[in-house]
Amino acid sequence: MNVPISLRPAVASDLPAIIQLDALSNPHPWGEKLVADALQSRENWILESVGCTPHVVLGWLTASVVLDQSELELIVIDSSVRRQGLARQLMMVWSETVAQQDVSELLLEVRESNVGAISLYESLGFELVGRRKNYYQIEKKAQTEQGREAACLFTKIL
């Protein structure tokens, strides 16, 4: 892509920009409180365009680390800059950083309908290890009989 992009750990002052990214580009926004909690208690990285001032946050990944496992909680990329390899970059940094903290397994859950994200995870070597039926609530217009959809569980051994 043309604009210079920087990838770095998120800091507290990134909160408003991450809240905005979540609100605009996450189809199931977390909202301010959950984003703030994640920024305080988890591992967080952001991607931002640094070609202009102020910098614009274009991507965010948040993950928890418990003993030798790290779980992806959310990855979101600004809708205007998708399919340019930015999510892949964030996933690689997450994986490489937690590997240095003695993490040996990455975990994640994703909606069964989220084929783009599933394709991203599979392209990075994640393997489907389980399915939780009726795990997520879905929007009225796309509702199944139960109004819910399955979660797919993926892992990757480092």
Contact set with ligand COA (CB under 6 A):
25-27, 74-77, 82-88, 110, 114-117, 119-120, 123
Which of 32, 73, 105, 109 is labelled catalytic? Answer: 109
Q: Shortest CA distance to 77 belongs to which of 64, 69, 86?
A: 86
Is 136 in the active site?
Answer: no
Give kind and range of the element (H or E) at residue 87. Answer: helix 86-99
The 3-class secondary structure across 57-75, one letter per residue, is EEEEEEEEEECCEEEEEEE
53 phi, psi to nearest 5 deg: -115, 135
Q: Which is nearer to ligand COA, 55 or 82 (CB)?
A: 82
**Residue 54 CB, nearest approach to ligand COA (Å):** 21
**Residue 121 CB, nearest approach to ligand COA (Å):** 8
Q: Which is nearer to ligand COA, 63 or 145 (CB)?
A: 63
**Residue 107 CB, nearest approach to ligand COA (Å):** 12
Contacts for 88 with CB less than 8 Å, ≥ 6 apart: 120, 123, 124
**Among all residues, which ones are annotated catalytic?**
109, 121
